[in-house]
Structure 1
Amino acid sequence: MTGRDWARQWRDSRPTRWAIAGGAFLAMLVLATTLFVILETRAKEIADSKRELMTLNLSLAEQTARAIQGVDLILGGIVDQVKADGVESAEDFERVEAGSMTYRQLKARAADVPQLDAVTMIAADGHLINFSRYYPIPTVNVADRDYFQALRDTATSRPYLSAPVENRGTGTWTLYVARRISDPSGRFVGLVLGAINLSYFEDLYKALQLGPGSGISLWRRDGILLARYPSIEGIGKIFQIKSFTETLLHSDVGVYETAASIDGYSRIVATRALRDYPMVVNVTRSLDDILADWRQTSSVIGVAGILCALAVALVAWALARQFGTYESLSRALGEKAEAVLARERAEGQLYQSQKLDAVGQLTTGIAHDFNNLLTAIMGNLEFLNFEKQSARTERSLAAIQKAVDRAATLTGQLLAFSRKQHLSPEAVDLNGLIGNMTEMLRSTLGGTIRVELALRADLWRALVDPVQIELVVLNLAINARDAMPAGGVLTIATDNAAIGEPVRHDDLPAGEYVLISVGDTGTGMTDDVLARAFDPFFTTKPPGKGTGLGLSQVYGMVQQSSGGIRIETAVDQGTIVRIYLPRIVAATAEAPIVTPAPTASMDPRPTRILVVDDDPSVRETVAEMVDSLGFSVLSAENGHQALDHLAADRSIDLVITDFAMPELNGAEVARCARHMRPGLPIIFVTGFADVESLRGEAWVLQKPFRRDGLAAKLRLALPGQVADAARS
């Protein structure tokens, strides 16, 4: 179609506008939902990581505090011992604590605490009195150190943490914890000093094995870096980290995101200040590592969303084209109907039947395209469901699956109208079937509708699909209810009918039929409405109240069952719909239905299955399903290629073939394959089934289908060789 044709169709065709606008809306909705799911999943990943880092940070802060507290307790015990020794002046302190006994006590205390490197007693003038590492004591004065000056000038009972100092000999960094010793009047006597090797904290953090992208750092409250794992340059330096400072101004604990951390990576940082010491513990993880799994999941969700949106757009485009063709055909048929309006009524009804057959071919094409698209979408949704997803993602996928199921139901209705659905006819007692439906009909129709039955006692049995007949009666009853908004009477009757000549309104051959009549006392139909009663998508109901497929589905099922349908109606007097169904003789009813018995192969080699379909997306989806069930898969894009594979590869155990294919259809492929390989199991996969061509075939799988449905057919075709699909 040219651009001008599309513009004219858009202007003149309401269904085209609805199809294109609806498709665009649905595609945008799918994409918006996909983007929402991706962003929500990212936010959840970051939130979960923050909670995890905060929990870990709490544990690390407690461990770090206990390490500092262990050293502080040693120092506090030494201060108490000094007081117990009767030290009352700086001179007493130097005299009493300078001996070898004190040295041994200091050495013993330091040996019990792994993080404590050494303990030192320092006099009021800064020189060393005793030292746990050496005796006699080296001549050293520390009066210039920050911890000495701070405790000398300030009377306090709290410990002091120094800035880290790098050991000139070993290159290791040391943190000093100091406590002041005062005489009874509060004058400065000296101090006791504990040295902590900061590598102790790096070893502690390294042992946690947090994984790639993670880091743990220990800081003084003023921003001096004390320790970090993994190690970086900058221990003992001040880092002006704005996020770090602002977070701790409001609370001693927090979490923030920084675009450039001290090692240059974007990170999530959980920070916590120690309660009793001016120190801060940070636990971080890089955003790249936090979002690694999210990127993989979001790519899968994104691809699925784009595919679904494209599928919706393609369906809308196909519908618009089909509507254009249908409307063009309808206009042509309408013009022709005006020219032959004066002909006899029977000839006009034959024309109506021909028109519906043509529309049936169109709807068959729509349904076939729908089912191919839905098969690919449904299969890929199932594979997405195998992946581990978040709860929100699972709900989104379930919503998409629900929409696909509704589309599959719609294609089933189209196939019913076009007489291309797969029926399972059997001998049915229509009186019993209708009797079993009576209570359900009364509850469905409501209290304003009275249901009456007029069932013939010696009614013949009919050759029909009972499930489809129940749908026919239910559809007619619902239409009757809608025609009686103020209430009325619904009458369902059965009878035996012998037709000697074609019934007016139908082209029934002579014979014996079972008749079902459904009548109402409603508004009836005008001639114009009656003429289009069986057209698909035609409805007199307001928007959103009906699909226009009810009577067309009834018409298709009756025609496919070799029956006929007749409507008698008058405005404001009611409507009677008469359905003629073929009678079945007793001999036929009692004859068993024979299906070919599958043959089980005892070959121990892996089962090899050939998948044949001219639609690449369906072929790939079915092949992936077969492969996921544990089979060896071979694909063919047409019947000729499939026969070439069968001739060249004797290891093929089963064929899964599409029915509607160019050049060679599925039935022709099966006939040639069985000539080459007698007894070869064949499963037919079809968007619409030509019942006559597939009559007698044991395994027919209707599109769209799920993986479990395919597994069930394979179990029937290959008994003893198919594992339970739930375990595969």
Structure 2
Amino acid sequence: MNSTEQGRVTAPTAPPSSAPALESARPSGMRWTQLLRSSRPLRRLLAGGILAVLAVAGATALIVVQAHDSTLQRVKSELETLDLLLAETTSRSFQTVDLILASIVDQLAAEGVTTSAEYERSRSGYNTYEMLKAKATGVPQLDAITMIAADGRLINFSRYFPIPPVNVADRDYYGVLKNDPGGRSYLSTPVQNRGNGEWTVYLAHRVSGPSGEFVGLVLGAISLDYFQNLYESLQISQGSAISLWRRDGTLLARYPTLPLIGEKLPIKTFTEILRQSDSGVYETPAAIDGPARIVATRLLRDYPVVVNVTRTKGQALDDWHHQAWITIAAGILCELALIAFLWGLARQFGAYEAFTTALAERNQAIEARREAEARLNQSQKMETLGQLTGGIAHDFNNLLQAIGSALYLIEQKVPKDGARNVLATSVRLATEAVERGSALTQHLLAFSRRQHLEPRPVDVNALIAGMSGLLGRTLGGTVAVSTALQDDLWPALVDPTQLEMALLNLSVNARDAMPGGGSLCIATANLHAPAAGPKSPADAPPATGVPAPPGDLPPGDYVGVSVRDSGTGMDEEVAARAFEPFFTTKEIGRGTGLGLSMVHGLSVQSGGGVRLDSRPGLGTTVTIYLPRAEAPSSAPRKSDNADDVTAGTPDVQVLLVDDDVLVRQAVTALLLQAGLRVTEASDTAQALAVLASDAPIDLIISDIAMPGMNGFQLAASARARRPTLPVLLMSGYAEPLLNGAAPLVPGACVLSKPFKPEQLLAEIRALLP
């Protein structure tokens, strides 16, 4: 907004026409004021007339409103009653089919059909076809009955024999009931017959063996035309409609007919109502056919099906409109006499009131504009602050990278003659300042960070052994730490850094649960999750005591890591919520409630699971189940020393790409000191020109956030030209890119700025063959 606009807002003036209007109104107003002051009867007459007008108007409005509410209530009651009857009729239609299917399943169980092979062999004959045909006869809504084998093939069909070679393994009911041993029945999404265009839904029953194994399905095809014809036969009033829905918003049937059968529509209103109750009445301003409607909705008791009975609001209020016009006309006639008597006075007072109202509205508009401008300025300020934060983080991290690299190079030249060396002390202090600056940028941008796992085969026993010193210092002398590690432990597929953090979180939680001291044991074991889950949740290998995997884990081999303490334990209510984010029983300042949720997230994201066993007074055991890695565990780096990292890498040519000259020069100095040869490029265009030439390049080191083509795109282009070329990407603030905007090419890695020289050289050594 410019200064001229602000001047108009902060210094308003009355419109030119306002003063003449006030002057013209003033003489009549003053005369009537004098009359009212001098004439007591006039004052009484005026007061009585106003009260009479208000009374007539109020009575008229009250009658109209009551008639409106009464009409709506009557219509809603009628719709709700009809909806209840239709819901019961529809439910009985589904129940009839349900009972037929259940009888077939019960008959199979009674005859001892326990396997899919027996099911297919015993039910593929003509006699079964006749039985199915007989059961479907006389049930108008039941279009067909089908028997389906465990692999999805049709066994028998009530419509004709022999059956065609059809497989329904791709249908929704097959996928749901096959993987749900406890599932009884399932109502499918509607399917349209390609031949005659009729719509059908399928009510499917699962056939299970004695131990819950999947034997097959019995399927009832329910014709939606049955419900369409049923609703049409009711001869509902004009403007009314009856519709049948799946609970997810898929339209199954409707009268009057609409070409929307089988479509999943964004119907939010009745789904919201049905979350609170099985039925309800509501008004919608725009129904699926356009006009506003009053809707009575009801969910069937045993099926995910909703019956709606509706009437357009205009049709529902048609009688009320006639009554309202008659009532209003009578009220108007009564008021006209009073208004005529008070007309002269009312006109003058009306003019003055209009002027006063207009002035007040103008002042309100001015104030509203000021508030809107203030909100806009605040919004723009916050948006700008967010943009500046990202930009500052990127530039600040680049500056920290250049400073840190320079300090490292200076440190290499400082004589190692003890702590009193002033230059060495200064370099150390400056390096600590760089690290604190890096932590500051991370705190500023914490809201946009995401956990990036780097799973690889890990020797969990070695990892736990390497943490012994850290655990001892963290837990203190009052907690006795012991281990029970299986000797031939499989390698686990997990991010080792995140696993260390998870074990540290669990150990700290255990320490807090033992304020007076106690014992903590970390155990490992090779475990197997069978297809049907463990026979007993309490089963555990006797050597380590690691609990068996829970039944919901996918079948396979797992490495179990348990942390067991002798603390206070948890009751059932607390244990049930232990993995909820931000749930904690600690006092304020002692915990965030994220420790166990982070452990749960790591285990699940790694492809495993987690289990908690706890009782009050008996301690707590938390077990992480990690998938077994096929490859052997990777050995940790022996040293982060620059000499060790770059040993054996002579004549390595590095292409360094960064648009920040300070970072480029600092990293070049590091690489040159490490004995590497460097070719610099200030942008991706120069880098691609180098790659297009015959120049020998052994490694690309590139920044991510650069003008034009970013680092991810450069890596993809480079790998297209040279498929085996290693790529190391540097990130000053590239989280928006890392969060899905550009995938990381295989064989590349990302190093966040500011990084230590040792980290850079270690990553180079890891990437080079």
**TM, length-normalised to structure 1:** 0.42
Higher relative contact order by CA 8 Å / sep ≥ 6: 1 or 2? 1
Higher CA-based Rg:
1
